Amino acid sequence: MFGLEALDLARMQFAFTISFHILFPAITIGLASYLAVLEGLWLKTHNDTYRDLYHFWSKIFAVNFGMGVVSGLVMAYQFGTNWSRFSDFAGSVTGPLLTYEVLTAFFLEAGFLGVMLFGWNKVGRKLHFFATVMVAIGTLISTFWILASNSWMQTPQGFEIVNGQVIPTDWLAVIFNPSFPYRLMHMATAAFVATAFFVGSSAAWHLLRGKDNPAIRTMLSMAMWMALIVAPIQAVIGDFHGLNTLKHQPAKIAAIEGHWENIGDEPTPLILFGWPDMKAEKTKFAVEIPYLGSLILTHSLDKQVPALKEFPPEDRPNSTIVFWSFRIMVGLGFLMIFTGLWSLWLRKSDKLYTSRPFLYLALWMGPSGLIAILAGWFTTEIGRQPWVVYGLMRTADASSNHSFLQMSITLILFVVVYFALFGAGLGYMMRLVRKGPKIDEGKETNDGGPGQKRTPARPLSAADDDGADSDHSLTKEI
């Protein structure tokens, strides 16, 4: 049907589930660190604005964290159900790395999450702050192990193949493979930037509707400082990541650039826009800037970038997709930098909270970080094709022996269930965002105890709308 095979549906299913999943960890990583900063600032300054923001965003964090855990479990099962040949081939590497994530990051998060969400008036200030910091560190450790596993699939090393299976010989080489440092920094920074624009967008939404208070202003101010500082840093990290990819995955770079062949000794131009045609082996309607491709990718004006025709057709990634996914990511990155610079200019003229054109831009930039992350992952994963483990195992050899009908049914079920379940979760989370932080929402209303709101029995009750679980006095000390 439509020229698709069971393998194509398996890839679509994994792409669909990981696209849903990656949104939640990205916000979880950023919000966890944001909450740690807010609580730290409150403890240092005793400014109740930081306290109110902490309790507002902790509710959204709780919902987001729950959806991230559920969506992540589904992906782990797919390695056994849809990609059993890959698991048999490389499971001795990917299995332990994912286990290390559970034993370190997940246990750390699970151990302190309850204290963070429900222990505000049960433990001392220092212990509660310590729990929040541990949860934030746990999210970063989780990122470490997930990126180590995925980066090894991009640039494998530290192994030998025995009887058709990968056997690790050097775990440090496996973990710290050539692409890992760049991809780890790139993803962690992307999570912080995405969260900054999510927070800034929610603040802009309230300001545009006339809800102007210190908490809302602080949200926008902190978000724009983060955008101003971190977005340019992300561009620099991306440049180093590109140089590393050129060294280890030149076919991916050629596909990203839509660059088909070199002419003599001429430097490589940068194709701004065009339509790479895989069958015609050319990029149609190309708008080029001479020399710029060589300058960006090799940092010289005379070196050439590898071209797609230098690789066999069966080893070429789909340039049509990665050419545009990369440009979506980069284009949004430039918009983020522009937004940060505009916010600085408005801050100096004391118009940051009143300029409606800027507030509308900040509002519409809310999902930009998440869209850029998705575009970046599409570029990375589709650009790795036709390999599931680069240079070692092709994607066509990694899938389970399922029929087209089986994959069709499961894909449809995934789409229906995900949109229903996570759509409802996202809707509820956005409803919390629209309510905004409540000033002095954390005054004591009861003495707690079994069955009271201060000792919730369900994880998502941390996101209770009326905020009655927020006793901000924290008079206890460790």
**What is the band of 67 on the pLDDT scale with cuts at 50, 70, 90?**
confident
Kindly report, residue by residue over 231-248, the tens digit of the pLDDT.
999 999 999 999 999 999
Instruction: Tell me the pLDDT of the chain averaged across its residues.
Output: 86
Give me 414's structure tokens.
Answer: 């995934």
Which residues, 6 or more positions from 187, have their beta carbon under 8 angstroms from its beta carbon?
143, 147, 373
Kindly report, residue by residue over 299-313, the tens digit of the pLDDT.
888 888 889 999 999
The distance in angstroms from the start CA to the end CA of the chain is: 65
Rounded Cα–Cα distance for residues 88 and 65 (Å): 31
pLDDT given for residue 3 in this prediction = 66
Domain segments of the chain: what residues? 25-177+415-440, 225-401
pLDDT given for residue 440 in this prediction = 59
- How would you label 89-102 residue by residue, b for 16+ Cβ within 10 Å and e otherwise? bbbbbbebbbebbe
pLDDT given for residue 109 in this prediction = 83
**What is the band of 72 on the pLDDT scale with cuts at 50, 70, 90?**
confident
Kindly report, residue by residue over 174-186, the tens digit of the pLDDT.
999 999 999 999 9
How many other β-carbons are positioned within 10 Å of the β-carbon of residue 222?
20
pLDDT over threshold 60, residue 61: yes
pLDDT over threshold 90, residue 263: no
pLDDT given for residue 343 in this prediction = 95
Kindly report, residue by residue over 289-347, the tens digit of the pLDDT.
988 888 888 888 888 888 999 999 999 999 999 999 999 999 999 999 999 999 999 99
Evaluated on CA atoms 373, 375, 377, 380, the torsion sign reads: negative
Kindly report, residue by residue over 339-392, the tens digit of the pLDDT.
999 999 999 999 999 999 999 999 999 999 999 999 999 999 999 999 999 999
| Among the listed residues 240, 257, 236, the one whose alpha carbon sits nearest the alpha carbon of residue 248 | 240
pLDDT over threshold 50, residue 121: yes
pLDDT given for residue 216 in this prediction = 92
Rounded Cα–Cα distance for residues 402 and 404 (Å): 7
pLDDT given for residue 168 in this prediction = 93
pLDDT given for residue 4 in this prediction = 78
Mean pLDDT of 441-470: 43
Rounded Cα–Cα distance for residues 118 and 190 (Å): 29
pLDDT given for residue 12 in this prediction = 87
pLDDT over threshold 90, residue 264: no
**What percent of the chain stands above pLDDT 90?**
53
pLDDT over threshold 70, residue 98: yes
Which long-range contacts link 113-116 to residues 24+ away (Cβ below 8 Å)?
113/65, 116/35, 116/58
Kindly report, residue by residue over 188-217, the tens digit of the pLDDT.
999 999 999 999 999 999 999 988 889 999
Which residues, 6 or more positions from 411, have their beta carbon under 8 angstroms from its beta carbon?
9, 12, 13, 16
Kindly report, residue by residue over 138-182, the tens digit of the pLDDT.
999 999 999 999 999 999 999 999 998 999 999 999 999 999 999
Q: DSSP secondary-structure letter at 437? A: P
Range name among 65-79, 200-214, 338-352, 421-435 with the lowest pLDDT average: 65-79
pLDDT over threshold 90, residue 411: no
